Amino acid sequence: MVTEVRMVTETYHLHGQTIEACVPARFDLKTGHQVFDEVLDEQAIQQAFTIYRCKNQIISVQRIKTLRQNLGLSQRDFAALLGWSPTTIATYETGTLPSHAHNSALLALEQDQQHVQFLFTVNREKISQRGQTALLAQQAPVAAQVLIETGITESFQATNQTIVAGYQVFDLKKFGQFVSFFLQQGPHCDARQLNDLLATADFTFFGQQTVGISGMVYCKPATKVEPIKRQLVYGALVNSGVLAETATGYQATQAVDETWFTALELATMQAVAQSGPDEKMLQRIGTADEIAYDRVN
């Protein structure tokens, strides 16, 4: 029998959902009829399950393996970290769909390294010594970064809700999104242009709403306005992976999470991104260790 492989659209019914997939199938050239091919049939089923996973945001087998391997854990220790049986992890890594609760747990673990620390604290005694050593090595840099970020945020406590912070509360994570927004709107802006955009947005919004956006304190030591502690703040954002350094400044590495901002804040940020820094406003500001927002507009 002479055969050939053709692409066909097949319909599969998986867990109450109809999934259509374009898959390879073998046909008899003489009769034109589809013939059984165990290998191709298995490939087709796996492709349908891949579509089902994507459609329902279910973590893939490879992502589960990569997550475990990146933590340096065996299946047994990975299961212990999560509080599951080793058999559960083994079946998930061979293609079994995780339950809704387990899928959510794996996604959380994949997206938030701090969640690893929490689970390690809860389930440490169940994990082998080798697994504990691997996790401690993984978590040390994360723990250090958390301490740095917490320390920076707390260092602004003295100025929070004062006029030099635009009556706002500084949060390093929100400031990271603030910076990323302008870098993504104008990815070729250098460090000085970035600082000008941030200051313009904060001061403009204060002029409109009597409150700033970011809670950042700005200074003007000479001729240019810049965030206070800028090297420390930007350095922490680089270390956390929010920014990456370039030859002229920084670039954003992640999509902006706009839920950090109100609709009014976003409208002002978008307007400033389109029009550029208010050079005249920034030039009018005299040298200052801390710029009072109400002295700008």
Q: What is the reported pLDDT for 165?
A: 96
pLDDT-derived band at 20, boundaries 50, 70, 90: confident
Euclidean distance between CA atoms 27 and 35, whole angstroms: 5
Q: For residue 187, is pLDDT > 80? A: no
pLDDT, tens digit, 9 for 90 and up, residues 266-285: 999 999 999 999 999 999 99
For residues 19 and 67, the answer to whether their CB atoms sit within 8 Å is no
Across the chain, mean pLDDT equals 89
pTM summary value:
0.55
Closest CA to 225 of 290, 152, 157: 290
User: Terminal CA-to-CA distance of the chain, rounded, Å?
Assistant: 84
- Mean pLDDT, rounded, for 238-267: 90
Give me 19's structure tokens: 């999934």
Ramachandran assignment for 166, one of left (phi > 0), alpha (psi -120 to 50 degrees), beta (any other) = left
The answer to whether residue 188 scores a pLDDT higher than 70 is no
Average pLDDT over residues 45-68: 88
Of the candidate ranges 17-21, 57-61, 88-92, 140-144, the one whose mean pLDDT is the lowest: 140-144
- Give the per-residue pLDDT at 10: 86
- Report whether 4 contacts 27 (CB < 8 A): yes
For the cut 80, the answer to whether the pLDDT of residue 120 exceeds it is yes
CA 162 to chain CA centroid, Å, is: 31
pLDDT, mean of residues 128-142 = 79
Residue 281 corresponds to which tokens in the numbers above?
């406003």
Token pair belonging to 103 = 């899928």
Alpha-carbon distance values, 221 to 126, 157, 164, 290 (Å): 55, 22, 15, 9
Query: For residue 289, what are the contacts with CB-CB under 8 A and spacing of at least 6?
Result: 219, 221
